[in-house]
Structure 1
Amino acid sequence: MEETSACDRLAADLRALREASRLTYNAITAQAKKQTPPLKLGGSKLSAWFSGKNVPKKDDDAAFRYLIQLLEPRAKKHGVTPKGIDWWRARRDEAAAERTRPQRRSSLLLTPPRPPPPCLRRLRTPVTRPRPNGCSAFSRLTVRGCAGSRTPRRCSRSR
């Protein structure tokens, strides 16, 4: 049986706390904006924390602390025992440490990615850029390494 990661455990605990509190992402975000100073606790950040995609950073401790202090009292009303901010910080730190460990060599990609074919490389002159001398004529496309490329035409007004 495979052991769950600290990130997954933190995300599962956060989800359980939010579900017990019966607050939506929008409600949490609205409450955070009312704080002084307002906290940046948007829906995408919350979603990443609750899904385990991201771990709350120590730099974001004010937002993380507020989230726990908002959810725990509401979850307590629905039968969830509060664990306290220190327990949650320990969980967060464990998950963050797991995220920062170096990956095993076997999981790394050993071959470098191939460069794109010449016709997909960056264009030398964008289509919509006017000539530098103020002429309204636009440059044609030039693609490095492609046989069918045309060089930029010269402006007849610049002579």
Structure 2
Amino acid sequence: MPEKAQERALTAPELAVLKPKLLATLNNDDWCDRLQPEEGEEAETISLTPLDNAHSLISALCWRAAYNEGYGYWVVDSKLEGNPTLITVSGSEYGDGEIFMSQKGRGLGDCWGTASWLWDGTTFRKSREATTGMCRYLRLGGTWDLPTWVTEVKPAK
């Protein structure tokens, strides 16, 4: 990782080049309406975080609901010349080479969905996905941890 890799907002010229490419990665299942604000709405900040000397992570608020919000995360070359690769439109945060997703099933917080993606030096790979089961108001935070995607992460040699 480059020294002091800091998140920064994209500049207007960078946005002009990159935003159409980000939009082109979305399909009908990807909900990212905040990337194209309605007339009168303020545009959301689109940010860049260096991952290494050759790759950067683009992040932008994609959607907002009553008690959840989802950020889009894309991997792009650091020169912003190539096509970005969409990782998710439902991320919650990024830190130390990992994108996290944590979403409530409803406002009470008695059911959750979680996922994470790990940086492998080229892209982010889904490393875990889980649910706490149905929303039944049995326990705040969810009753169980039910993995739906499990991987074994091996450190590079």
**More helix by proportion, 1 or 2?**
1
**More strand by proportion, 1 or 2?**
2
Q: Which has the larger radius of gyration?
A: 1
Fold match (TM-score > 0.5): no
Question: Which category describes the TM-score, using the shorter chain as reference length?
Answer: under 0.3
Higher relative contact order (CA 8 A, sep 6+): 1
TM-score with structure 2 length normalisation?
0.19
